[in-house]
Chain A
Amino acid sequence: MNLQEEILSNIDGRTLNYCFSCGMCTGGCPSARVTDSIYNPRKILHRAALEGRLEEDIWLCTNCYTCQERCPTKTKVADLISLMRRIYVKEKGIPGFIKPLIENLGACGFTARIGDLENKRRERMGLPSVKQNQEVRRIIEKTGGGL
């Protein structure tokens, strides 16, 4: 696999070359904040552009889009990270530490499991209860969600 070629063949991916490494993305990143900058979107982009290497840190993005909102060069930072995740899954499959989330997703349609306790709390707040959702499970199975 050639990471650069894959990224540049995608319309959002093409914005990778816009980046001039100013660090504004990492500067405001909540994930970088709690991981002591182990997760560093600027570095991830730079690494992809120069080395063409994918590492597991891309899974630490919370998709809050702060980086993309603030980027002065209009690089689609968060979209690029999502794109790299897709390429990662295509190449190496879903990494082990993501699997529990997928299980939850298959069970209820959310990454965090919603059981009786949560439903009771929802009831108190006047929200409809969440039922077991088989559709999402079927989608995951059909698309080879790695379960």
Chain B
Amino acid sequence: MSVLKVFICTCRGGITLPKDLDFGEDVKVRVIEDIFFDKAQEEIESFVGKEKIVIAGPSPRIMEGFFSDPNIAFVNIWEQASMVGHGPEKIRDLIHGAVEGLRNTAPVEKKVFEIKNKDALVIGGGVAGLEAARHIANAGFKVYLIEKKPFLGGVVAGLDRLYPEGTPNSHVLYPLINEVVRNKGVDILTNTEVEEVDGSLGDYRVKIKTHGRIPKGLMLKKCEEVCPVTVNDHGIKRKAIYYMPTYPYSHGIDFDSCTRCGECVKVCEDISLEEEEKEIEVGAIVVATGLKEYDASKIIEYGYGRYPNVLTQWEFERRFSNGLIKPKSVSIIHCAGSRDKNHLPYCSRVCCILGLKEAKLVKDTSPDTEVYINYIDMRSYGPFEEFYNTIREIYGVKFIQGRPSEILQDGEELVVRAEDILLGKQMDNRVEYVVLMTGFVPDDELFHKLGLPADGCFPTEYVNSQHSVDANPRGIFIAGAAAFPKGVAESMIDAGDAAQGVIDVLDRYAVEKKTPTARINSSICGEIDCRICLTACPYGAVYLKDEEVTVNEELCMGCGICTATCAAGANQLDGCTNNGMLAQIAATTKEGDVVAFLCKWSSYSAADKAGYELLRYPENVKIIRIPCTGRVDAQMILKAFSSGAKGVLIAGCPPDGCHYFTGNLKARKRVIALKKLIEQFGINPEALAIEWIGKDESKKFVEIVNRLNGGGR
């Protein structure tokens, strides 16, 4: 790839090209009339992947719709030059910059992931896992559905009523389980856990461990009788071998509490307590591990664990539906642990409506029970408002606005001490039972085995970036409430979405990598070993593998924030390397220019918009497109100044609006620190600016470059 091809579109004569189009001996220049012609595109396409190509013409926002290859550099000579009335000299500088940048960049190989295994693994047999397995199997792929508990059904199977209106769960669960069981493509393995995951997209090897087996269709009441282990399952007493009306259609053994004494095997020889390990090969994985309740005993002032009548939502519902408790009065406490910086800083999203569901359950079954709800804000968005109204108007549940401060026991009664905000008074509410609507946390034991970034929170960044079309193809999909708390219907919709992603991957022979990724030169990195880039990555894609800094190519989104933090130059972003960027800056910049590094997600579009709007700004403003302001490092800024720039602008997305979450904030910190440094070099710190310019703020862009142009250093 030593030859460089430059295609320049004149937009049917709309752009006046410079006379001198000689960029060196190895550069072949071809001027085309209109790049939107099929023939012109076919001609360019014939060189893609073989040579390094520079395409000068309309904005890359448009051109990326036609060409996607890491070895193509785009130059915007239409919106950001011709349309704003800038002359051929600037056009030459811009093309020259791109040529030099590309010349100094090693060719990037297009990475392809081969999909070797056509099977899928679904982890978790709750509604989300079942629904995902059903969709994938229906599309004709073999699915391993594994569940760590003895029965399918997850959270829903343990409860009587569905979120939110309280439909009995059998309406959804039984048909769903039967659909999955009927499908010959699904291999259901209960009592099974993931031991180890190895490999990458299209080629995962997963070690799974099955704790024991009971043949299908056996009612083992006698085994249950002889079992010596009694378990308290959310307040319901059962044996370690027990029955649940889901799948498998037989008794199951809870191996968390089973002591493997072998009493049941004496009764029924078909039971196997042997652990079995096996390795399966799959192409994609769905993680549907769901959520669990936050440990309510950590909220000391609510007395969970000290007072027997303080229960969590699931405990209460299970005991109440099974007729074990008949409360005279209940106080339902919302946000127990949620929206609390001492516990879970986030809103668990479903508990407001879950609380209303519990209230309805109590009132439906025993209308004379007094039900109080303590809440901060009732988040009954969308159609749930009607449900909230029903609970208030028809069921007569009493709502107290105010987060309880403490719960005390007084004889048989519990005292809920809270301020009634609307009355402005501290009140003691005496009730028989207290139900804590605890916040939810992910059941995240597996996350680190799968290489998912997790620190006890829901993997929001992973999920958000997964839904971004510019993300690299991935083999691990999160479905249902493992991503964040969801209701039953939402979880199932989400599972369909994850299944679609799996089918999309498995259906192909190979998938191409979309985003450029960062690469680590381990010989340089090993010497310095500063590990700063580990904390810079917003996706957890930069990680330590055998004490060596490594980039997970599936997770990397190509922002270059880590590249900018590497002072040694060991970390390089494909297509945006230090050498390439510095060469481009040096070739583009002339004495007295203003160099603008614009983030491709927002500010670059604002500059394009200035073009459509025919705004005017000085010709010496040279724009360099970057993936994120977080990529701009001190070297690049200083290079611009040393090449003669009198002003440098770094502009990106508004605060909290960064495509890569925090790139713009990191860039801001870096620039503020650099301002102090350049003052020592005799450069006016006012000549360096970092600004938020949103995609529509073309006027702001023009104002800022005018200011920088006037300032001078």
A residues neighboring B (CB under 8 Å): 20-29, 32-33, 36-37, 40, 42-43, 66, 70, 72-74
Residues in B neighbouring A23, C-beta threshold 8 A: 401-403, 405, 418-421
Tell me the residues in window 408-443 of chain B with beta carbons closer than 8 Å to chain A beta carbons.
Answer: 417-421, 424-426
Known: A28-B301, A32-B426, A72-B342. A20 touches B376 (CB 8 A): yes
| A22→B403 contact, CB < 8 A | yes
| B426→A24 contact, CB < 8 A | no
Residues in B neighbouring A26, C-beta threshold 8 A: 402, 405, 419, 426
CB distance from B340 to the nearest CB of A (A): 4
B341, B343, B405: most-surrounded residue (chain A CB, <10 A): B405
Residues in B neighbouring A66, C-beta threshold 8 A: 405
A143 and B393 alpha carbons, distance in the complex (Å): 60
| B342→A32 contact, CB < 8 A | no
| A27→B419 contact, CB < 8 A | yes
User: Which of the residues B301, B342, B376, B417 comes within 8 Å of A22, measured between beta carbons?
Assistant: B376
CB distance from A106 to the nearest CB of B (A): 35
CB distance from B540 to the nearest CB of A (A): 26
User: Which of the residues A20, A32, A72, A74 comes within 8 Å of B419, measured between beta carbons?
Assistant: A32
Known: A23-B403, A32-B426, A72-B403. A42 touches B421 (CB 8 A): yes
- Asked if B233 CB lies within 8 Å of chain A CBs, one says no
A70 and B300 alpha carbons, distance in the complex (Å): 10
List 11 additional contacts besides A29-B426, A37-B425; criterion CB under 8 Å: A23-B403, A23-B420, A24-B402, A24-B419, A27-B406, A28-B405, A28-B406, A29-B405, A42-B419, A72-B341, A74-B341
Some 10 contacts from A to B, beta carbons below 8 A apart, are A20-B339, A22-B335, A22-B403, A23-B405, A23-B421, A24-B403, A32-B419, A37-B425, A66-B405, A72-B342
CB distance from A32 to the nearest CB of B (A): 5
| B342→A37 contact, CB < 8 A | no
A53 and B419 alpha carbons, distance in the complex (Å): 22
Residues in B neighbouring A29, C-beta threshold 8 A: 405, 426
User: Which of the residues A22, A72, A73 comes within 8 Å of B402, measured between beta carbons?
Assistant: A22
A24 and B376 alpha carbons, distance in the complex (Å): 10
In the complex, which residue of chain A has the Cβ closest to the Cβ of B301?
A70
- Asked if B404 CB lies within 8 Å of chain A CBs, one says yes
| B341→A40 contact, CB < 8 A | no
A40, A43, A72: most-surrounded residue (chain B CB, <10 A): A72
Residues in B neighbouring A25, C-beta threshold 8 A: 405, 419
Known: A22-B402, A23-B402, A24-B405. A37 touches B419 (CB 8 A): yes
| B404→A24 contact, CB < 8 A | yes
B residues neighboring A (CB under 8 Å): 301, 335, 339-343, 376, 401-406, 417-421, 424-426
Secondary structure of the B contact surface, majority rule:
loop
Smallest CB-CB A-B distances: 7 pairs: A28-B405, A27-B405, A23-B419, A23-B402, A72-B340, A26-B419, A22-B403
In the complex, which residue of chain A has the Cβ closest to the Cβ of B376?
A22
CB distance from B434 to the nearest CB of A (A): 14
CB distance from A43 to the nearest CB of B (A): 6
CB distance from B332 to the nearest CB of A (A): 16
Residues in B neighbouring A40, C-beta threshold 8 A: 419, 424
CB distance from A140 to the nearest CB of B (A): 35
Residues in A neighbouring B426, C-beta threshold 8 A: 26-27, 29, 32-33, 37
A40 and B423 alpha carbons, distance in the complex (Å): 11
Known: A20-B376, A40-B424. A28 touches B417 (CB 8 A): yes
Residues in A neighbouring B424, C-beta threshold 8 A: 37, 40, 43
User: Which of the residues B343, B405, B421 comes within 8 Å of A21, measured between beta carbons?
Assistant: B421
Residues in A neighbouring B401, C-beta threshold 8 A: 23
| A73→B419 contact, CB < 8 A | no
A26 and B403 alpha carbons, distance in the complex (Å): 10
B301, B335, B420, B426: most-surrounded residue (chain A CB, <10 A): B426
Residues in B neighbouring A36, C-beta threshold 8 A: 425
Residues in A neighbouring B339, C-beta threshold 8 A: 20, 72
A24 and B403 alpha carbons, distance in the complex (Å): 5
A19 and B265 alpha carbons, distance in the complex (Å): 60
CB distance from B435 to the nearest CB of A (A): 18
| A27→B417 contact, CB < 8 A | yes
